[in-house]
Amino acid sequence: MTRTQLHFQWREPKAPGQFRTAVSLHSHTMHSRESLDFIPRLARTIPGVREALAAEERAYARRNGRLLNYAGACWTPPHPEREALRLEQRQIEERLGLAALISLTDHDNIEASSHLHLFEEYASTPVSVEWTVPFGRSFFHLGVHNLPRDEARQWMSRMAAYTAAPAACDLRALLAGLSERPEILVVFNHPLWDEMVIGQAAHREMVAGFLGRFGGWLHALELNGMRTWPENQAVLAIAAASGHPVVAGGDRHGSEPNAVLNLTNARDFAAFSDEVRRGGVSEVLVLPQYREPQRLRYAETVWDVVREYPEYTGRVRWTDRCFYRNREGVEAPLSAAWNGDGPGVVSAFFFFARLVFSRQVRPTLRLAMRARGEVLP
């Protein structure tokens, strides 16, 4: 029997006071690799930017005889691991007055926690990862939290082997092995996000198939702080049907701290994991920033990605934080190949991004970018 309880802070401002600890799951640092295809995806939602970018894309194709390959390069979130952890810590400790448990989950690597463990004050930080799991025509992301420190690299090697060659690996055995460790928490992240755009019907069929085959080794589904409320409501329904609790996962990439957290009286991550796994109990706190329009929050993340950070030596400009493989196959920052913001089509996007996403026009954007069904009670 599972029990997921939602607390909306604007309706229950005293709810956090009933608990000792807030848990921040699923946020990213500079060690994550993300596709640049967010540029056309976001630009097409904004009048003016959409038309300007389309014109620049056509001009680029005429000049070069090919379309611009956004996916050929990757960007990294701006914040190093200590700053990313402190950002989550400040929200929990200063705004909520609770103890903080923070699990950073970069894509397919554990470099953030490995670096944090060099500092005594962060020695207890969980070793966690957002693991890319190919499945059928697409893939899913699993949040694997609190790997044993002395075994983490071995687990990462096994997970990487499956990601690279799923046909050659036994996913059932791998998930069963993770589940044998009671301190580990495995979360099905944003299960209804159709990242490969195969169509919602096909994607939901894949989700049902994945849960049918492997759900016994998944400990919770995620209520994602960057996905829409209708999508999260659908996740809650799927979890109720499958018998899984739902835990909060913020999915932060920029400077806005996670918009959803878990509340608990656990004092460490192993105790929190036990509460979810054996008790089936999850207390989710939805924070006020989740009420903002999703597209506006994505836009602000883009602003966080493209703005300059003078305090981060070697990573000041966005092109210092984006990478491509050169002709020798070596990964290099875009700043080594581009002047300024690069090709006209990309430069045009960032010109409009800096103009449109600036804080001064935020009230106007809030109204223009709200989609139907986004208003929460």
Residue 356 burial (CB count, 10 A): 19
Identify whether residues 331 and 257 lie together within a single domain: no
Check: CB of residue 75 under 8 Å from CB of residue 32: no
Domain assignment present for 374: no
- What confidence tens digit (pLDDT) does each residue in 279-297 have? 999 999 999 999 988 888 8
Domain assignment present for 335: yes
Instruction: Give the residue among 98, 79, 94 at the shortest CA–CA distance from 23.
Output: 98
Identify whether residues 175 and 205 lie together within a single domain: yes
Identify whether residues 307 and 279 lie together within a single domain: no
Dihedral, CA atoms, 223, 236, 199, 75, nearest 10 degrees?
0
Domain assignment present for 101: yes
Domain assignment present for 203: yes
Taking residues 30-46, what's their average pLDDT? 76
Identify whether residues 51 and 108 lie together within a single domain: no
Contact partners, residue 143, CB within 8 Å, separation at least 6? 25, 26, 103, 105, 128, 129, 130, 131, 185, 186, 187, 189, 222, 249
Identify whether residues 303 and 287 lie together within a single domain: no
Identify whether residues 255 and 350 lie together within a single domain: no
In this structure, are strands 220-224 and 185-189 parallel, antiparallel, or unpaired? parallel
Q: What is the CATH number of the domain that holds 182?
A: 3.20.20.140
Give the total number of structural domains in the chain. 2
Identify whether residues 215 and 303 lie together within a single domain: no
Domain assignment present for 268: yes
Identify whether residues 274 and 340 lie together within a single domain: no
Domain final position from 235, 256, 291: 291
Domain region containing 335: 37-72+295-368
Domain assignment present for 376: no
Check: CB of residue 245 under 8 Å from CB of residue 4: yes
Identify whether residues 199 and 333 lie together within a single domain: no
* pLDDT level of residue 358 (50, 70, 90 thresholds): low
- What confidence tens digit (pLDDT) does each residue in 202-246 have? 999 999 999 999 999 999 999 999 999 999 999 999 999 999 999
pTM: 0.90
What letter would DSSP give residue 217?
G
Measured CA to CA, the distance from residue 369 to residue 377 in angstroms comes to 19
Domain final position from 235, 262, 291: 291
Identify whether residues 220 and 278 lie together within a single domain: yes
Identify whether residues 142 and 198 lie together within a single domain: yes
